Chains A and B, each alone.
Chain A
Amino acid sequence: MRLPALKLLALSAGILLGFLLGSAPLSGQRAPSANYENDKKVKLSGIVTRIDWVNPSAFFSVNVKDSTGTIAAWAVEIGNPLDLQKDGWKPTALRIGDMVTVEGIPARGPRRQAMATSVVVARTGAKVFVPSNKKAVKAASQPAPRWPDGHPRLGPPPGKKGYWGTPSSTVLVENTGVAIPMNRDGLLANITDSDKVAPFQPWAKAVYEYRQRTLFKDDPYNRCIPPGGARHFQNSYGFQFIEQPEVGRILLLLGGGDRNWRIIYTDGRPIGHKDELVQTYYGASTGHWEGDTLVVDTVGFNEKFWFTNGGLPHTEALHLTERFTRSDLNTLRYQVTVDDPQTYTRTWTGGWTIQWVPDEEIQEYFCEENAESTFIR
């Protein structure tokens, strides 16, 4: 029987939406495509034997008995402890010896591991580690705070706290106005769309597609390698500007990844030359103001990281021009121009917006280098 065209369209849209959204893990953090099969589900019942409330991700272990009576130990990831604590949860919500029922997303490969989407404790019947539905109360739009010289302040208004939080997009694609279906990790719904992502050189397109096809298994970020380039602005743990005009620099404190920092020199020094720089994850940055926009040029990147989610390659020739515009108190527009003639056929630009989180500091999230075992049990 042929489905009516409308039904078929709705079905296709549903499948696509399912791909894009996947199952929502408990804490709202992403279930990385490299580790989890986002399109599959698993249901487990068993006894809790261990609780690891640790950064960057909390786990508990469950002994699950199958129909033959054989017991197998499963590791269940429940998200970042900071997110869980923000939602009012403590490790004591679960006790060793509790019988639990877990629904979740299974890990790739033979590992007995799942990212939980639901945890129910038999003792109380309660669902635990549920994200709060509190939506951030958006303050009425106010103008961007300014320094006495008229430049917008990128940090909090005087006497207040705050940081830049959740980005509107966690992927970087060329800003052409064409919608490219992909998930939050930058995994394309259709690999043939790779040409639309960026103007790759042939080798770079091949590497990009290899990373896509292998589901980001080699992503350095999975081992907590610093997320340099534009990638640290795709984290959900935010960043904070510390402006020091008296010494001609802006510090950029990064909440996610390895919780590192960048220094943007605004004292008029020239951009460094590649041959004079030690290549690093975050490069060497100089900045200047163009009207209300801070323009930051960065060179001197090493090749040991992916500069954005999705696996777009780069070389040491990478030169990023980032434009930060605080259009009002709550909104920061981030635009980045990618210039890497060894990887791309021309320069290209993408970007997103980032929301202000008032009255809070960036969080103590830590993802330490080589911490693969913190994501894979």
Chain B
Amino acid sequence: MRRRAFRLGCLLACLGILVPSFAQQGHPLTGTWNGDWGTTPTQRTQMTIVMTWDGKEAKGTINPGPDSAPASVFLDVINWMVRIEADVKDQSGKPVHVLAEGKLEDIGAYHRTITGTWRQGTTNGTFKLTRD
């Protein structure tokens, strides 16, 4: 039992050490971002956004899968501000527009973040995304 715990500890330690070595050093938005948005610290909705850069524009896909929604993404490289716009479906299946604006921080880090405001229809909230 103790040996198993020791092995598990070693494995986790190795994973912990390895994480920084896979940092993506290209366009700062490229990659998979996980996080949530909501109107209060406890009322949060999990989300995943995959962002790509084709040399001319950044694009995103909110929650890849059956309910995915394409998003247009704009990066202001002077202030490192990110704007995400998309049309998603709410819980009743009704289309609703999303406009999110946030600050990209610690752009050289593997787990860089975007935090800011999230407006979905008439609901205002905040969001935080962390690059996977």
Q: Which residues of A contact B (CB under 8 A)?
A: 201-203, 205-207, 210-211, 214, 217-218, 220, 223, 225, 303-306, 313-317, 341-343, 369-370
Complex interface: chain A residues within 8 A of B23 (CB):
218, 220, 304
Asked if A370 and B20 make an inter-chain contact with CB atoms under 8 angstroms apart, the answer reads yes
B21 touches A303 (CB 8 A): no
Establish whether residues B21 and A369, one from each chain, have CB atoms under 8 Å apart when the complex forms.
yes
Q: Report the bound CA distance from A151 to B26 in whole Å.
A: 38
- B interface, size bucket: 20 to 34
Whole-angstrom distance between the alpha carbons of A306 and B26 in the complex? 9
* Distance to closest chain B CB from A370 (angstroms): 5
Contact A314 B26 (CB under 8 A): yes
Q: In angstroms, how far is the closest chain B Cβ from the Cβ of A348?
A: 15
Contact A217 B21 (CB under 8 A): no
B5 at the interface (CB under 8 A from A): no
Interface string of B3-27 (1 = CB under 8 A from A): 0000000000000011011111111
Q: How far apart sit A57 and B22, CA to CA, in the bound complex (Å)? A: 23
Contacting residues of chain B (1-52) with chain A, CB-CB under 8 angstroms? 17-18, 20-28, 30
In this assembly, does B121 line the interface, its C-beta being within 8 Å of a C-beta of chain A? no
Q: List 17 A-B contacts (CB under 8 A).
A: A203-B53, A203-B75, A203-B77, A207-B28, A210-B108, A220-B23, A220-B25, A303-B26, A305-B25, A306-B25, A314-B26, A315-B26, A317-B55, A341-B55, A342-B26, A343-B26, A370-B17
Alpha-carbon distance between A292 and B129 when the two chains are bound, in angstroms: 53
A206 touches B78 (CB 8 A): yes
Within 8 A of A (CB), among B86-117: 107-109
Q: Give A314's nearest chain B residue, CB to CB.
A: B26
In the A-B complex, the 6 residue pairs with the smallest Cβ-Cβ separation, listed nearest first, are: A218-B108, A303-B26, A206-B77, A342-B55, A315-B26, A203-B77
Chain A residues with CB below 8 A from B77, complex form: 202-203, 205-207
Contact A214 B108 (CB under 8 A): yes
How far is A202 from B79 in the complex, measured between Cα atoms in Å?
12
**Which residues from chain B sit less than 8 Å from chain A, CB to CB?**
17-18, 20-28, 30, 53-55, 75, 77-78, 80, 107-109
In the complex, A186→B109 CA distance in Å? 20
* Nearest B residue to A342, CB-CB: B55
Residues of B within 8 A of A314 (CB): 25-26
Question: Which residues on A sit within 8 Å (CB–CB) of B75?
Answer: 203
| Residue from the set B21, B28, B54 with the largest chain A CB neighbour count within 10 Å | B21
A342 to B28, CA, bound (A): 12
Q: Is the CB of B24 within 8 A of A304?
A: yes
Q: With A303-B25, A313-B26, A315-B27 as given contacts, are A370 and B53 in contact (CB-CB < 8 Å)?
A: no
A313 and B30 CA atoms in complex are apart in Å by 13
- Chain B residues with CB below 8 A from A315, complex form: 26-27, 30, 53, 55
> Which A residues lie within 8 Å of B26 (CB)?
303, 313-316, 342-343
**Bound-state Cα–Cα, A370 to B19, Å:** 10
Give Cα A80 to B51, complex, Å.
41
Given contacts A202-B77, A214-B108, A304 and B54 within 8 Å (CB-CB): no
Contact A223 B21 (CB under 8 A): yes
- Cα A211 to Cα B28 with chains together (Å): 12
